[in-house]
Amino acid sequence: MSTSKTEFLVAPSILSADFSRLAEEIAAITEAGADWVHVDVMDGHFVPNLTIGAPVVKSLKPVSKLPLDCHLMIEHPEKYVEDFAKAGASTITIHVEATSDPGGLLNRIRELGCKPGITLKPGTDAKTIFPFLPLVDLVLVMTVNPGFSGQSFMEEQAAKISLVREELKRIGHTALIEVDGGITAETAKLVREA
């Protein structure tokens, strides 16, 4: 979704998909009107769960007409961004908590030909990412604790969406705001109003 409150994109996560039928699942979300495919990448260290890596993203590229939005919930993402870029990621989003040099890594993602994104855990102050906003095309606001699918939307995170939107407006930046976790028809209304 954008900072204008009028434009919204839908980026379903494949985390809940049937991994034995990923091509069919992507075709179904494409047909349903999705704008992007959200790919949750977890390493079992930064978050407790373990999911997929760059080889799976590479296998998705030929079967997806949609941009692949890779959310790296991993330690030391600087070691892996090149792999995800080569695999076909359109957007690579990193956690501010996962690297000692977020600015340098965001610049590297752009050099690799991908759109850089930044995110933070629900317990991290929104202002932590403000210095990096000029470097990104996307800000992902987590409305669940990262690492597991099927969690309920954390309503208190709506204030963080508003803070990010206000800061983007203040600096005159048009980065997209993506909201991740617990999105339903009901919670989408809260997100729109934030």
* 35 flagged as catalytic: no
DSSP state of 81: H
Of 43, 69, 137, 180, the catalytic one is: 180
Of 40, 43, 69, 137, the catalytic one is: 40
By DSSP bridging, strand 138-142 and strand 176-180 are: parallel
E strand or H helix that includes residue 95 = strand 91-95
End-to-end Cα separation, the chain, in angstroms:
12
Q: In this structure, what token pair is assigned to residue 194? A: 């934030």
Query: What residue has token string 């203040």?
Result: 170
* 40 flagged as catalytic: yes
DSSP state of 78: G
Q: Are 54 and 86 in contact (CB under 8 A)?
A: yes
Q: In this structure, what token pair is assigned to residue 4? A: 């204008």
Inter-CA distances, 189 with 8, 14, 144, Å = 11, 22, 17
Between CA 55 and CA 53 the distance in angstroms is 6
Residues taking part in catalysis: 40, 180
